[in-house]
Chains A and B, each alone.
Chain A
Amino acid sequence: MMKDLAMHIMDIVQNSISAGATLIQVSINESAKDDTYLLTITDNGKGIPAEMIEKVTDPFVTSRTTRKVGLGLPLLKQHADSTGGSLKLESKEGSGTVVIATFGLTHFDRQPLGDIAGTMVLLAAANLKIRFVYEHTTPDGEYRFDTDEVNEMLEGMSISEASVMRFLKEMINENLKEIKISG
């Protein structure tokens, strides 16, 4: 079972990677006013065929061949539903997929965000050719992390160097603290 949202994100992003995405954008938008916690994962991968999209939240539907079940999206849907939210998918074959999960911000069953900094940095380090963008908006402000900007700064050095990863994690965590993200 996924213990926090960061684990769900790590999982759903794997779908985008398998779909051949070169740009994967994770956004979280906290709205105290509407009491919602909106998670959006957007990719430019190959997309999901129309006849498949209705069925992807069925645990017994998967496009993979190593096993017959696919639990990533069903688990995310179950979690979103349990907090009074929902899961929506929009996809166009050939241009990408958007996964939109809405949670109740203060709902008792909404899992904490967890180690999002570590998750994004690990994803970036393990998939050097993919551009990752992470955006987090709260009533106190917003923060944006973009691996394109990191790579520009690194001038050819790899994100996967342990000391770079350590630094990026600290940087993201400090900035998220600044905008007072919910746990």
Chain B
Amino acid sequence: MGQVKSLADLRKIKEDLQGKMSLRENSNNPESLVQIRVAMATCGIASGAKQVMEFFIEEFDKRNIQAVVTQTGCMGYCFAEPTIEVTLPGQAPVVFGYVDTKKADDIIEKYVKNGELVDGIIPVNYETIEKK
């Protein structure tokens, strides 16, 4: 068995990254990036939000799309978990519900890349249980 990885091995990853980073632009300006917020409350987690979040991080990296993926709390759409909020640069945020990795792939390919809407959007004026 090989040597167990330690933090010292991180240096290599860092050097590789630094090479790539210099090619990137805009990375210091989050406004110009695609922003994804994954709802991560009890309801979201229990429905698989973690897998969805990991999928977005991995796929944006693979497909070379600059994006910021973060988490948020419950947005009140527990019935539609996992839910995510996608903000394209300069546009209003759009909330998608019932997002599994297949839907996530659709969202990247259609909405993030081409601005084309896909099924599962939760309208912003939707009433939560609380507001009724």
Contact = CB atoms under 8 A, between A and B. Distances in A.
A66 B9 contact: no
Nearest to B71: A126
A72 B78 CA distance: 14
B45 A11 contact: yes
Contacts of B9: 167, 171
Interface in B1-38: 4-11, 13-14, 16-18, 21
Contact of B16 (A66, A150, A163, A165): A163
A174 B50 contact: no
Given A122-B54, A125-B57, A164 B73 contact: no
A119 B71 CA distance: 12
A54 interface: no
Given A14-B40, A67-B129, A122-B54, A174 B45 contact: no
B94 interface: no
Interface of A is mostly: helix
Interface stretch (A21-29, A100-108, A151-159): A151-159
Interface in B93-109: none
A167 B130 contact: no
A126 B49 CA distance: 13
A115 B16 CA distance: 27
B128 interface: yes
A170 interface: yes
A54 B101 CA distance: 39
A162 B61 contact: yes
A69 to B, nearest CB: 9
Contacts of B40: 10, 14, 126
Contact of B53 (A7, A115, A122): A122
Interface of A: 1-2, 7, 10-11, 14, 18, 64-68, 70-72, 75, 115, 118-119, 122, 125-127, 149-150, 153-155, 157, 160-165, 167-168, 170-171, 174-175, 178
10 contacts: A11-B45, A66-B74, A67-B130, A118-B50, A122-B50, A126-B53, A126-B69, A153-B7, A167-B5, A171-B7
Closest 4 CB pairs of A and B: A162-B61, A171-B5, A66-B76, A126-B71
Interface of B: 4-11, 13-14, 16-18, 21, 40-43, 45-46, 50, 53-54, 57-58, 60-61, 68-71, 73-76, 78, 128-130
